[in-house]
Each structure stands twice: as structure tokens, then as C-alpha cells.
A and B are shown apart, each in its own frame.
Chain A
Amino acid sequence: MDKSSIKNSLQWLLANYFSSHKQRFFIKKGECLFKKGDANDRLYLVKSGQLNGYVDNPDGSHYARFEASKNMFVGIVSFFSRTYIARANVIAEEDSEVAYITKDEPLVKREGYDSLFDQFMPVVVTDLAFRQQREQQFFLEKEAATKKLLHSEKMASLGQMAAGLAHELNNAIAVLERNTHWMRENINAILQKRYPQEYPFFQYGNEKGRRLSSSEVRAHTKEIMTKFALAKQDAQKLAQTGIPADDLRRFVDIMDVDADIIHYYWDIGATFHDMMIAARHAAHVVRSVKALGAQKHSRQLNLDVNQSLQESLALLGTKVESVTIKQKLAELPPIVANIGELVQIWTNLLKNAIEAMQQAHTPNAQLKIRSSFADGAVNVYIEDNGPGIPKDLQEIIFQPNVTTKAQGLSFGLGLGLSIIEKIVDSYSGTISVKSKPGKTVFKVKLPVGDGYG
């Protein structure tokens, strides 16, 4: 039976069974039509308004099992099961009018429908199906709500734990970071004054760090072995410094210094470089974790988003050296923001992009950073030409515990983007991603406050 014939059946029923003025009355909002367990030998039709059927849950709460609005039936189960005992508490949700028939209702003849049951069946089954659908939806909603609640409870306790951990670690990291810095400055000053000959090697290591990869060191070793006629071990030491062969020649020829000495002073410098990177990284990890349980940071007026982008690039330091960076920054109105939070957003997105390209060994790895102002909002686009994010991952990428990162030190807790989303959200902004192989763009939209829009 199709929809229109169900409609016809309903119209026929309305006209033939529910049009009498005698079997019809009003019920006020909040009034009870019947209670569960009451005797009820009537089938009601809602003429106007709405009635809900409630059942009690075992835990004492109750929920609407069905909602009957205009042209829907109430009392279906008790009437058609012929128990004539009400199955739910039916209450008027608003001022309503109902019509009814009783179990002894005289049959109105209709061609092809011999009994009352035949006549009502299609319409009533449709009503019941509707109720079932509603119940299912209710169940799904409830399940989703429970999941969400569990998740936010989990995040809250994780945040609390993280904040405690971060606090403890912060002191230790601060001591390491500050004192590394202090030592570095002092060793630098002492060497410069007392060991002017060796100082350039320290300085080179201190400024550039370990700039050659292990395979580059091997290639450089071979070059030095032939150019300088040195033993492998000495050549390897010189190669590790990353000092170009021609510069090395100058030192070796003029000053007759040996490889061990050069390497030794260079290594002191490079080690300070490593320690600073590691301390900064540790501080960054702690900051990220802390942001999980964070309260709102103080925000300053007139913050330049472009400047926060530059700070992020500076913070990433040598990490960005492996990719080509192209910037196209528009003139932007100032926004009300916390620079730390913005830097955190950009740093995280940039770092993700760089690491994805490194992991995939993307040739000609490129990062494009764009900013624009449109429709009262500042937009920042961070684009890479890496491998792209698989479709199924794109959908869940802002959820916590989603990570593609394998390396131990790159902190693959999968919290980065969920934290960022939280921050962006606190600015009433949005973050979105579009990705295909060779082109992934993250867009962050931050509305400019009232005073400027």
C-alpha cells in the first residue's frame, strides 16, 4: 500500500469514525488522558495539539515513548490487543482536542475492508512504525550523548593529570634550559678569550649544530680522505663537523691543528646546540600537555597574526630548514588574542606538515603560508605538498588520540590537533582541512572582534 492510499484510508477513517461531536472533547495542557494500568476501551485520535505517552524507566526516570500529534492515534496497543488496559501514561503536552471510538463502535461499511481491523490496520501500522523509528532515534541520541560525556570526562581527567605532570616537569626543564643557556654563554666567552685558535670550531658547532646527516657525513668523509690524505677515523671526525673541505684546508694548512682537536671543540658547541633544542622541545611538550587542562589565557588587544606566524617559524628553528617556505601575507587588522595560543596553533600545523613530508620523503618539500582578511575574519592557510591525509583519517583528525606519528621524540600522543581545535573554538573560529596527495591545506579562520568588523 503506497503513501497516498494510506492517506486515503486515514481520510476515510476520519470522516466515518471521528467526526461525531458526541465522542469528542478537549484536554488541557498537563492533564492526563489515562494512566498506565487504567482500563481503556477507547481508541483516541488527536484532532489538534499533542499528547505524549510516558513509561517509567527502572531507574525512576521517564521518557516519552511516543508523541502523538494531529491525526495520530493514542491507545493503539490496548485497543487492538483487546486487553483494554492502558500501556503508558498519556499526558497532553499542549491544549489538545481528541476524538475517540469505543470497542463497541458500530462498523461503517467500506468496500474491500470487512472488519474494523481491516480498515484501521494500514494507518495504525504506519503510526506504530513511526513510534518505533522515534524510539530508535532516541536510543541513538542517548548513546551519542553517553559517548560524548565519557569522552569529555576522560579528557578532563587526562587534563588534570597532564597539568600536574606539566607542573612537576616544568621546574626541572626550566633549570636545565636556563642553565644550559648560562653554560653556553660562559663557555663561549671563555673560549673566545682564552682559546682563540679553537674558538671558531666551537662557534661553528654552537651555531649550526649537527647539520649533516649520517649519510652526508659518510660522503664528506670520503672527500676529506682523498683531499687531505687522512686516515678514515680522522676524516670521519672532520666530516662530522660539517665544515666545508675548503674551509678546513685553511685551518689545517695554516694552523696545523689535528682532527681530534677540531672535532673536540666543534662537538662542545654542537652539544650545546643539541641541549638547547632538546630543552626547548621538552618545554614545548609540557606546554602542549598543559594546554589540555588549561584555563583561558589572557588576551591582548591589537595582536598581529602575521607576526605570530613569524614567531612560530623562528620557534621551529632548524626543523624548517629541510623545506622551502613561501609566504604570502596580506595586511591584516589587529585581533584580540593571546600570542602564545596563536603560536601554538601555527607551530603545530607547520610541524605536522614538515614531519609528514619528511616521513614520506617528499621531493621538493614546500610549505606555503598565506594570510588574508575577508568577511570580518582573518584567514590563515598552511599548505604543503606532502603525501596528503587519507580520506578516512580526515574525518577524525581533530579527535584526540589520532596520530600518524611514529617517532619517539615527536610526541605522537595525537593531542596536537584536538588542542588546536579547542583553542580555535575559544576564538569562535573554525579550522578545516582539504587534502589530496600533493596538496594539503589547513585553513584557520579567526573572526575579528566587534570593534574592528
Chain B
Amino acid sequence: MDKPNIICIDDQRQILATLQKDLEYFDEYFTIQTCESASEAEDLLSSLADENEEVALLICDHIMPGKNGIDFMIDIQNDSRFRYTKKILLTGLATHSDAIAAINDANVSHYLEKPWDTTELLSIVKILITQFIFQTGLERDVFLPILDLETLQKMG
């Protein structure tokens, strides 16, 4: 089986590179992909779905040229192929109503502000991919070294 994907979306290439470095910890178990716009991410998602690859997590900026992050995630939320995909909103600029839309309509799992703390990001990612593995019923033992045990116990 192909490794599940973690996809980072941000219009700033330097931010993507930094995220990629932070996520290197998961490199052995997940493919880390980057996209510079929502439309690029949409193309990537549909080609991954065509190849029956899993998308475990989206880490997405909000304010980008073209479609913004929350609108993009709302669309993904309505796509049954990605019903277990977790979403982190990572942004330096979002209004109150943006945040409401993110929670109510996009079902965003976590909201992180830029600049972010790497330790915090890693622990959140760990929890979210643990939930993802559990919900999708993927072979848990394979991923065990990088899963969050507390979350795993909670989920039974």
C-alpha cells in the first residue's frame, strides 16, 4: 500500500519548506506533499483519489490568491472521498467570521496561528493522524511508532 499523504497548502514557498522540515518526523510513514494554491491542491487531491491513495491531513493557509483556505476546506468537507481527512487551518490572518466558518462549515480540526510552534504542531498532527488511522481502519501496528497513544486509548 502507498503511504498516506499529508498535504500542505500555502502560497508562500518558504512557509511550505519550513512546514516540510517540521513534518520530516512523519516522513517514514506519510508522503508529505506541498501545493501553492487551493486549485493546485484540488488537482492533486483528485489525482490521489484516482490512484486510491489516502489523504490523512491537510494543513492549509487561509488567505491565498484564488480560492481561500476555508472555502477550499468546505468543498473538501462535502466530498465523501475525503470524509476522514483531518484539517488544520494555519494562518496569520483570519477574522472572527472566518474562524466561525472554519469550525461550522469546514469542520476544521485545529486552528493554528503563524508563526507556529513546531512542538505544538507535531503533537497536533500526531493526534489527528492517530484519529485518521483509527477511523479509516488502516493497519494500526504499522504506524504505531508515530501514533499518539493517549488518543488511541481514548478511542478504544
Chain B contact residues, CB within 8 Å of chain A? 11-14, 16-18, 21, 27, 31, 33-36, 40, 44, 61, 63-66, 68, 91-93, 114
A407 within 8 A of B: yes
Query: A406 — which chain B residues lie within 8 A by C-beta?
Result: 63-65, 68
Interface-side segment among A8-16, A92-100, A167-175, A208-216? A208-216
Q: In the complex, are the beta carbons of A274 and B14 less than 8 A apart?
A: yes
Contact of B40 among A210, A215, A407, A409 (CB under 8 A): A215
- Compute how far the CA of A407 lies from the CA of B36 in the bound complex, rounded to whole angstroms: 12
Q: Is the CB–CB distance between A214 and B12 below 8 Å?
A: no
* Bound complex: CA A409 to CA B114 (Å): 11
List 7 A–B pairs whose Cβ atoms lie within 8 Å, in order of A's numbering.
Answer: A213-B13, A213-B36, A215-B40, A233-B31, A359-B66, A407-B11, A407-B12
| Contact among B34, B65, B93 with A358 in the assembled complex (CB-CB below 8 Å) | B65
Across the interface, A214 reaches (CB within 8 A) one of B16, B31, B92, namely B16
Contacts of A278 in B (CB 8 A): 14
Given A214-B35, A214-B40, A217-B34, are A407 and B13 also a contact pair (CB < 8 Å)? no
Give the interface SS of chain A, mostly helix, strand, loop or mixed: helix
Q: Confirm or deny: A112 has a beta carbon within 8 angstroms of a beta carbon on chain B.
A: no
> Is A389 interfacial (CB-CB < 8 Å)?
no
Q: Which residue of A lies closest to B18 (CB)?
A: A274
Asked if B14 and A277 sit within 8 Å, CB to CB, the answer is: yes
Docked complex Cα distance between A277 and B15 (Å): 12
Q: Is the CB of A407 within 8 A of B64?
A: yes
Q: Which residues of A contact B (CB under 8 A)?
A: 210, 213-215, 217-218, 232-233, 236, 267, 270-271, 274, 277-278, 358-359, 406-409
Q: A91–B18 Cα gap in the complex (Å)?
A: 76
Q: Are B17 and A408 interface neighbours, CB within 8 A?
A: no
Query: Contact check: which of B21, B33, B63, B114 meets A407 at CB < 8 Å?
Result: B63
A210, B14: Cβ atoms closer than 8 Å: yes
Residues of B within 8 A of A407 (CB): 11-12, 63-65
Q: Using Cβ atoms and an 8 Å threshold, which residues of chain B touch A232?
A: 31
Taking A232-B31, A274-B18 as known contacts, 5 extra A-B pairs with beta carbons closer than 8 A to each other, sorted by chain A number, are A213-B13, A236-B31, A407-B64, A408-B61, A408-B92
Distance between A282 CB and nearest chain B CB, rounded to angstroms: 12
Cβ-defined contact, B36 with A408, below 8 A: no
| Complex contact B13–A233 (CB within 8 A) | no
A217 CA to B16 CA, complexed, in Å = 13
